[in-house]
Amino acid sequence: MDRYYKFTVPEIKEKERIDKYITRFVENASRTKVQKAINLGNVLVNGEYVKSNYLLKPNDEIEIELPVPDKQDILPENIPLDIIYEDDYLLIINKPSGMVTHPAYKNYSGTLVNALMYYSMQSKGSLSDLNGFERAGIVHRLDKDTSGILVVAKDEVTHRKLADQFFKHSIEREYMAIVWGKFKNKQGIIENRISRDKRNRKKMTVTNSGDNGKIAITEYNVIEEYEFLSLVNLKLRTGRTHQIRVHLSSSGHPVFGDEMYGGRVPHSVNLTANMKLQINNLLEMMSRQALHARLLSFIHPHSKEEMQFISDLPEDMLKIINIVKN
């Protein structure tokens, strides 16, 4: 089974090799994988085969097929899991930051799926194969550097019923984030359209209503304010890729530490020398985006009971808060 991508090159100022360009635009695609796909004839530009050194021009239309990992590439690994809850149908995992949710290019090991495979093997349990072996049990995902709660399905029936709740947005999800600056309104709703960034396919961006983006809605509520940061609670009404990170960045309050969306640059014009020094020290301590999936609430697919799970703020975020409080 292959994954298919098709996109058009924007108005680029400098010509760039196609193999290098694709690795920037396709998530987790290594240059070696891309070059292999080109050599196998799985990459077309304007309907024609090209070589790896082909120099792209504006409006070139690229089509690419990349293979998913083989089963032998994904192995069970003895990685400790923080299991909050488990029954015959599902698991609730508290995922640490730095752990990729499922295997993909460059990340065949060390993922949550590798850990789940080992745990399932040891406990003689099962994992849903609804989304393929490389996403065994995974109903939804968190970004690598986002910590917090995930639900894992043990069978396909459970998986489908949970996925349906996600699709209908009936699952309640709350996040906590440390963000730059202070909000003018202490609570509100951010609503707009989100789509892939045309210049960097690994990023998402807010688009105009006339574009092909998908509606994204995030509720926010400021919990505490500090000198140049704020602690914010966020509720997802929709579940778009990077939604919270894009919404906060577009509102002028990027998640602290978020390199992709401007969170490693101070967002204040009134910073003293001491504040700049403190910020640099804090950024060294927080090597990821300060975003945590705090709460997950849903109806159990079989018992029909309402289930709610909460994960406390992780140590790295608490450390930042304690420092800026003082």
Q: Which domain holds residue 154?
A: 71-168
- DSSP assigned state of 198: S
Q: Which of residues 125, 148, 168 is at a domain's end?
A: 168
On whether both 220 and 277 belong to a single domain, the answer is yes
Q: Is residue 180 part of a domain?
A: yes
168, 203, 226 — which closes off a domain? Answer: 168
Residue 164, CA distances (Å) to 83, 139, 157 in order: 23, 10, 11
What does the pLDDT look like over 281-291, one tens digit per residue?
999 999 999 99
Structure confidence at residue 13 as a pLDDT band (50, 70, 90): confident
- Do residue 121 and residue 39 come from a single domain? no
The pair of three-digit structure tokens given for residue 23, joined into one six-digit string:
């690795």
- Per-residue model confidence (pLDDT) at position 69: 65
Encode pLDDT of 90-145 as tens digits: 999 999 999 999 887 667 789 999 999 999 999 999 999 888 888 899 999 999 99
**152-181 pLDDT per residue, tens:** 999 999 999 999 999 899 999 999 999 999
Question: Mean pLDDT in the chain?
Answer: 89
Whether residue 98 sits in one domain with residue 20: no
3-state secondary structure of 86: strand
**Is residue 27 very low, low, confident or very high in pLDDT (cuts 50, 70, 90)?**
low
**229 and 261, same domain (yes or no):** yes
pTM: 0.80
Q: Residues 197, 247: one domain?
A: yes
Whichever domain contains 151, its CATH number is 3.30.2350.10
Q: Which two tokens stand for residue 53?
A: 């050194």
pLDDT at 40 over 80: no
For residue 46, give the nearest of 33, 60, 32 by alpha carbon: 60
Confidence band of 70 (pLDDT split at 50, 70, 90): low
pLDDT at residue 309 tops 70: yes
Q: What is the pLDDT of residue 274?
A: 85
**Neighbouring residues of 8: CB distance < 8 A, sequence distance ≥ 6:** 59, 60, 61, 62
My answer on whether 184 and 321 are in the same domain is: yes
Residues 62, 186, single domain; the answer is: no
195 and 319 fall within a common domain:
yes
Q: How far is CA 178 from the centre of its chain?
A: 17
Known catalytic residue: 143? yes
Mean pLDDT within 78-91: 97
- State the pLDDT at residue 226: 93
- State whether 283 and 191 are in the same domain: yes
pLDDT higher than threshold 70 for residue 47 = yes
DSSP string, 155-188: SHHHHHHHHHHHHTT-SEEEEEEEEES--SSSEE
Return the H-helix or E-strand segment holding 194. strand 187-196
* Contact of 238 with 169, CB cutoff 8 Å: yes
Instruction: Decide if 275 is inside a domain.
Output: yes
**CATH number of the structural domain spanning residue 6:** 3.10.290.10
Question: Measured between alpha carbons, how far is 31 from 37 in angstroms, rounded to an integer?
Answer: 10
Instruction: Catalytic residue, from 19, 143, 258, 316: name it.
Output: 143
The residues near 94 (Cβ < 8 Å, ≥ 6 apart) are 82, 83, 84, 147, 148, 149, 311
How many domains are contained in the chain?
Answer: 3
211 has a pLDDT exceeding 70: no
Indicate the residue among 67, 87, 107 that finishes a domain: 67
Query: Is pLDDT of 313 > 60?
Result: yes
Q: What is the mean pLDDT of residues 183-197?
A: 91
